[in-house]
Amino acid sequence: MNATPLADLSADDLAALLHEQQAAYEELKAKGLSLDLTRGKPSAQQLDLSDRLLQLPSTTRSASGVDVRNYGGLEGLKELREMFAELLWVEPEQLVAGGSSSLTMMRECLVDLVLFGGVDSERPWGQEEKVRFVCPVPGYDRHFTLLESLGIEMLTVPMDDDGPDAEAVAALVADDPTIKGMWVVPTYANPTGAVVTQEVAARLTSMPTAAPDFKIFWDNAYALHHLTEDEAKSADVLTLASAAGHPHRPIMFASTSKITYAGAGVAFLAASTDNVAWYLRHLGNGSIGPDKVNHLRHVEFFGTPQGVRDHMVKHREIIAPKFAEVDRVLTERLGGRGVATWNTPAGGYFVNLDVVPGTASRVVELAREAGVALTPAGSSFPYKQDPDDTNIRLAPTMPPVAEVTGAMEAVATCVLLAAAEKASQGTQDA
């Protein structure tokens, strides 16, 4: 295969390449594919790993004597909080076990901040003229749509390999009291796979902020979701923040959506004890207690924190080959061409593909017409606007490996075709 970078091709070679890729694309369309790499969902095989949950709990009482069938215990079942406190490196008193969605908890916190203000707010955020959030990009699309739904404006900073560009964040928040918070996905970020280092976490928790009630929404959705044996440990954000004199700054979120069942797992919130009391006070106006039956069956299912870690190894065995396949196909088809870069994440659920600037939407459109659904270009940016039209998020966990192969072959063809189209336009314009 000719792996000359497109930029080094002569006009004739470029025309030949365009022709070749157009033919490959027509062949692709003729296959009538129907493949989907859009969302980071666990596959059925992964969900099967947790089917013993359907026979649990074996009893109606927890070890601490709670009848899990009844109302109460807003903070969640003690035994489950103890188990996950160890896994998330927090104290059980700092941890709430709730319903099945951590995204719902994030929304609850934001709504409470807007309506009532936080423990360190001068007034409810809703009474401020303007509220803004710092959003590392590329990032998680639902974080951005959530902020948009509440009228919270978004400012972007780059998401680097060691986490958000902390100096850029510090510069923004130092003098601007309208900036009330930021998102961080600290471990195997959606979609870049970056892991926030201890240094970056320390900077974000200690930086001076003009807003006294600045919040870090520390969404540790992939805390335990390793793809290699080298298991990244998340920075201990609550301790760092406390030590820096900002104990109420971080609110951590996590869930078992991609550990047990994505629709029937357990979500967690961890924060300073004052923040936890604040959260529960507002929650208590709308709930008499969480689904402790679900909490107890999770306790029985895992047995110990190590049981959770062991379970995650089984997930890894299922999904790591899919990520390896994405990398293999992209390397074979696009390596050396100068048309794309991508990451090989050590955990999480996504591969971040950057194509020739100005072609991401075209790639997604070409793929769609060939029967391969990709997340819409721009999704990983606030307001769905990728200024460079370069970023595509790939989610390979759900389809079987053979389908990942087919989908990635198709994506590679679309990336090459879009790049060749763009490069040919360039030669025509010149």
Least Cβ distance, residue 19 to ligand PMP (angstroms)? 40
Least Cβ distance, residue 262 to ligand PMP (angstroms)? 6
**Beta-sheet pairing, 35-36 with 95-97:** unpaired
Least Cβ distance, residue 385 to ligand PMP (angstroms)? 20
327, 363, 366: which is closest to 343 by C-alpha?
A: 327
Q: Is the dihedral of CA 273, 276, 278, 284 positive or negative?
A: negative
Rounded CA separation 137/200 (Å): 16
User: What residues line the site for ligand PMP (CB under 6 A)?
Assistant: 40, 101-103, 140, 185, 190, 219, 221, 255, 257, 267
Least Cβ distance, residue 222 to ligand PMP (angstroms)? 7
Q: Note the helical H segments in 4-89.
A: 11-30, 44-48, 78-88
Output 16 or 47, the one with its CB closest to ligand PMP: 47
Output 40 or 378, the one with its CB closest to ligand PMP: 40
Output 62 or 257, the one with its CB closest to ligand PMP: 257
Task: Tell me the residue nearest to ligand PMP as measured from the CB.
Answer: 255
Q: Are 228 and 241 in contact (CB under 8 A)?
A: no
301, 294, 290, 305: which is closest to 96 by C-alpha?
A: 290
Task: Compute the half-sphere exposure of residue 344: CA atoms within 13 Å on the CB side of its CA.
Answer: 11
Least Cβ distance, residue 31 to ligand PMP (angstroms)? 29
Least Cβ distance, residue 6 to ligand PMP (angstroms)? 33
Rounded CA separation 138/352 (Å): 9
Residue type present at position 196: V
Output 101 or 287, the one with its CB closest to ligand PMP: 101
Output 125 or 222, the one with its CB closest to ligand PMP: 222
Cis peptide preceding 138, ω within 30 of 0: yes
Output 209 or 255, the one with its CB closest to ligand PMP: 255
Q: In what helix (H) or strand (E) does residue 424 lie, and over which residues does it extend?
A: helix 401-429
Output 39 or 314, the one with its CB closest to ligand PMP: 39
As given in the structure block, the two tokens for residue 307 are 């049981």
Least Cβ distance, residue 140 to ligand PMP (angstroms)? 4
Output 14 or 53, the one with its CB closest to ligand PMP: 53
Rounded CA separation 41/349 (Å): 8
As given in the structure block, the two tokens for residue 420 are 């060749």
Least Cβ distance, residue 318 to ligand PMP (angstroms)? 17
- Helix-strand-coil split of the chain, %, nearest 5: 45, 15, 40
Count other C-beta atoms under 10 Å from residue 239's C-beta. 16
Output 140 or 279, the one with its CB closest to ligand PMP: 140
Q: Are 71 and 289 in contact (CB under 8 A)?
A: yes
Least Cβ distance, residue 40 to ligand PMP (angstroms)? 5
Rounded CA separation 84/82 (Å): 6
Rounded CA separation 198/130 (Å): 31
